[in-house]
């Protein structure tokens, strides 16, 4: 994942203009064309989810460093997630992640009922949700993760495969959750979901 640290060209533009530029130059050109999703990106101020010192680079087409090892993924990553998720108004959505706030705000603008829990928090006790969004990439799909996805529900997450992060969609059918990898995507791996060490002799 490439993380932007320097001042972006959009720094001097108004924030609404910067959001429109992000939509036109990062999302639309990459196949994110759902009008409701684009409208959510337009009204949620991305700069509010980064430290003051990083506001100038909030709309760059890269991840933004937040400190303490956390990053805000590129807007395209969230656009890909929401497109794959196909959120339905009034459905229950669980967002798991560090930080997760921007993704949760976008989902809420789509009319969903959102609960946000940190990846390091007690998300396993969050109950069942018809849609679970993980703001980051996981290596280990645990039974606890499957338990928070309701019957016939969906999970949208990043996965780490051989050091490459990809977007994946999971569906829970007959009590089992299986993932289908959709495309490469720019996710930050979440340490809380790292694979357990494998012992060999």
Q: Which residues does the annotation mark as catalytic?
A: 73
Q: Is beta strand 63-67 parallel, antiparallel or unpaired with respect to 70-72?
A: antiparallel
Gap between the Cα atoms of 71 and 68, Å rounded: 9
Cα–Cα nearest to 59, from 67, 48, 70: 48
Gap between the Cα atoms of 32 and 75, Å rounded: 10
Cα–Cα nearest to 115, from 189, 192, 103: 103
DSSP string over 150-178: EEEEEEEEEEEETTEEEEEEEEEETTEEE
Cα–Cα nearest to 146, from 195, 119, 168, 179: 179
Q: Is beta strand 129-138 parallel, antiparallel or unpaired with respect to 149-161?
A: parallel
- Tell me the H-state helices in the chain: 15-22, 35-43, 75-85, 101-109, 143-147
């Amino acid at each position: 994942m490439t993380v932007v640290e320097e001042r972006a060209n959009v720094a001097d533009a108004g924030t609404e203009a910067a959001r429109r530029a992000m939509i036109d130059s990062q999302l639309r050109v990459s196949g994110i064309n759902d009008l409701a999703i684009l409208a959510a990106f337009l009204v949620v101020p991305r700069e509010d989810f980064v430290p003051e010192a990083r506001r100038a680079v909030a709309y760059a087409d890269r991840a933004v460093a937040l400190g303490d090892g956390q990053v805000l993924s590129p807007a395209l990553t969230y656009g890909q997630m929401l497109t794959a998720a196909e959120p339905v108004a009034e459905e229950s959505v669980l967002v798991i992640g560090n930080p997760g706030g921007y993704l949760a705000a976008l989902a809420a603008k789509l009319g969903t009922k959102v609960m946000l829990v940190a990846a390091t928090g007690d998300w396993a006790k969050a109950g069942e949700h018809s849609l679970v969004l993980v703001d980051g990439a996981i290596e280990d799909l645990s039974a606890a993760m499957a338990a928070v996805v309701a019957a016939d529900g969906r999970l949208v997450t990043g996965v780490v495969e051989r050091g490459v992060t990809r977007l994946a969609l999971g569906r829970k059918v007959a009590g089992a959750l299986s993932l289908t990898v959709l495309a490469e995507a720019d996710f930050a791996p979440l340490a809380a979901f790292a694979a357990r060490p494998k012992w060999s002799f």
